[in-house]
Structure 1
């Protein structure tokens, strides 16, 4: 080796350090790749993504070939550095060469390339896969032998190499991905996606129209009153019952009888002919299940019943869709019908306002597994029917009963959150 020019040895050393940097950066880049973006690019036909995805299908082999190459070039670089030290300063220069080589490899072959790969993994991983694929096929026997020994050692330690971590995202992980999408997904679309994720955490009981607020046609009423109700109603479908909602006979699609009403030949018999059989929904049905049930049965309205078969309320397909996209309304001032802002910063809230609506609009954090309405929250806390003027705190918000009707709270005034000592102020 004494005949080899020093310039050639220095060139060989520099080449080995560059190769070490390539192996180090490719390892970090391939392991840092976003697997979901990689899958998307691969399905879109990106060649580099396809090569990288093929390599990552067997990470043990990928790591094996990278480490084999990296250790080989590092050991070779150490040998060349030793020869250079002997040629320049004899045996006394070997220690200095070792320390200097360690510093050079640490900076130029480890820290710098790995940092670059972590910041821009696709820029490094896709070109690297072009070289690692053929290299893996060329050195496959050596890689297989290395992995066989390593896997045998892992099994002795009680670790099964075949058990890889699942790549499926949980609901909370997917929620984090949506929240961190930033400008890639408009904020309104993010809210819709998060609302879809929350559908299985709510039931029809959470969003139904309570029994006492169901608008329907009582066949025992005067016929002229029934006709007037049909022509003036704001709803497309109306439950039809006799005497009480429990004696329901069907659901009327109002548009089907308008022609007969305009022609003056609308009769009680024809009304009965246009009734559709009522559709009943168990009270604990999750919203995502009920949406699929509406689709399968081609229905848009259902009556919520309890375990005894008594009607508790009414739920529509629009109610479920509003949980995803927000309120449907032609008047922006009526976007939230149960919550009315006041000039002093407080809100007049109907007692029938749902807890989910209060949490969403007023930024409350009241659990939804208890009372479903503001009236229920007030009655649960006071344990009695309150008189107008009664005040209490709900989720640190002062609530004052403004009006009662029978045995329920009809209207209450909700004021801004009370700031407790040691508690961070709420963001409104």
Structure 2
């Protein structure tokens, strides 16, 4: 073999190494594509994305084509390198060719192109799809035969290649994506999206106004007292009951009351005439379901009942929307009323404050799978109502009762311990 022949074979060997690099990078690039971004680009009419998506619809065929091409060029490159090495160094050339070609392929045809493709999959996969697609058509009979054999072998292990592409994101995965969006999503939008995702995990019992805080009209009161209450209320819809909230007779819309005032007919019978039937919902209803039910029944306020039919409180459409977008009104700020920061870094918290609201306001991690209020949480842990002030630790947070009366923990001093700081 003359020098010209060796030169020609060397050029062929270099071309084969480049081909091997192409197949290696194409495989990694195609498999590293973000499928959700790819589908978005396809819907946007991106031509390269359409070709790549078409190839990925049957990944078994794509992988079969790439591996056929990659193995063919690698084996051919090995044979040519051996011929050249034997010609130059004799029998020792076999070992030299094996060691040298292995190193060259690893660096220039495997590790480097695959690393590049993993870092920039679209830049590699999209141009490669223009080459791979016609190659698949040309080599389809060979690919079909090899895939038929391999797919049959995979079925022995219960693997069905037709299940490819049926990818669905769970709520937790969606939440992670939103969290990791970073600057791509404004913080406000992230909070709203997370609020929507959490709607199905929160029930109306978690956000309702408890019955002892419900503002309503007691028809057993004198008319002057009722009018005074109506003149001071900030709500547009009020429950109407007799004597006790459990004896609810309906919901009064202030718009209807305004009509009565214009007519000069504000009496108890007149109020009863414009009262709407109350809408009752179970306390365990998820917020997502309740939001849809509000829309379905054209309601904005519901009376929450427990499993025995006793009234627990009320929930409004505004309460649910605030779980998504945050506080809708500045007229009241329940968190500021319930939580009072102190100079030493602790907080005075009302026992009636909701645990979820405390966690939101202070970025804490108090348990929310049990009692809804701080009073309930403390009494559940103590398994009794304390006769005197006590101090306890809950999930790494120090709780000291400051005021106990009427069988309720009224005020608590709370602060983070070192353990809680480490977990944040």
What range describes the TM-score normalised by the shorter chain of this pair? over 0.9
Alpha carbons of structure 1 residues 264 and 387: separation in structure 2 relative to 1, 3 Å: farther
- Residues 327-336 or 211-220, more deviating: 327-336
Greater mean deviation of Cα atoms: 366-375 or 136-145:
366-375
Cα distance in 1 for residues equivalent to 2:193 and 2:62: 36
User: Which TM-score applies when normalising by structure 2?
Assistant: 0.93
- Matched with 1:26 is 26
Judge which range, 362-371 or 351-360, deviates more.
Answer: 362-371
Counterpart in 2 of 1:414? 413
- Structure 1 residues 247-266: Cα deviation after superposition (integer angstroms, max 9, x where no partner): 11111111332254256443
Note if contact 1:242-1:248 (Cα within 8 Å) is conserved in structure 2: yes
Give per-residue Cα distances to partners, 1:64-105, cap 9 Å, x unaligned.
Answer: 000111111112212222332344344443332232222111
CA distance in 2, matches of 1:116, 1:181: 23
Rounded to whole Å, the distance in 1 between the matches of 2:404 and 2:86 is 98
* Bigger mean CA offset, 187-196 vs 103-112: 187-196
Q: Deviations over 1:150-201 (max 9, x none)?
A: 1222234454434447411112222221211111112232222222222222
Q: Which residue of 1 aligns with 2:152?
A: 152
1:237: which partner in 2? 237
What is the CA RMSD across the aligned residues, in angstroms?
2.3
In the alignment, the residues of structure 2 paired with residue 285 and residue 92 of structure 1 have an alpha-carbon distance, to the nearest angstrom, of: 79
1:382 matches 2:379? no
Q: Check 1:83–1:210 CA distance in 2 against 1; reply closer, same or farther (3 A cut).
A: same
Change (3 A) 1:345 1:89: closer
Aligned to 1:108: 108
Query: Which has the higher mean CA deviation after the structures are superposed, 25-34 or 245-254?
Result: 245-254
SS at match of 2:314: strand
**Matching residue of 2:83:** 83
Shift in alpha-carbon separation, 1:149–1:2, aligned structure 2, 3 A:
farther
CA spacing shift, 1:112–1:3, aligned 2, 3 Å: closer
Alignment of 1:138-149 (within 5 A): 138-149=138-149
CA contact (8 A) 2:59 2:164 kept: no
* Corresponding residue number in structure 1 for 2:271: 271
1:194 paired residue number: 194
TM-score (norm 1): 0.92
Structure 1 gaps of 5+ residues are: none
Q: State the aligned residue count.
A: 424
Q: Which runs of 5+ in 2 are unaligned?
A: none
- Alpha-carbon shift at residue 141 of structure 1 (Å): 0.3
User: Is the deviation greater in 181-190 or in 238-247?
Assistant: 181-190
Q: Is the 8 A contact 1:388 1:402 kept in 2?
A: no
| Contact 2:251–2:275 (CA under 8 A) maintained in structure 1 | yes
Which residue pairs with 2:354 in the alignment? 354
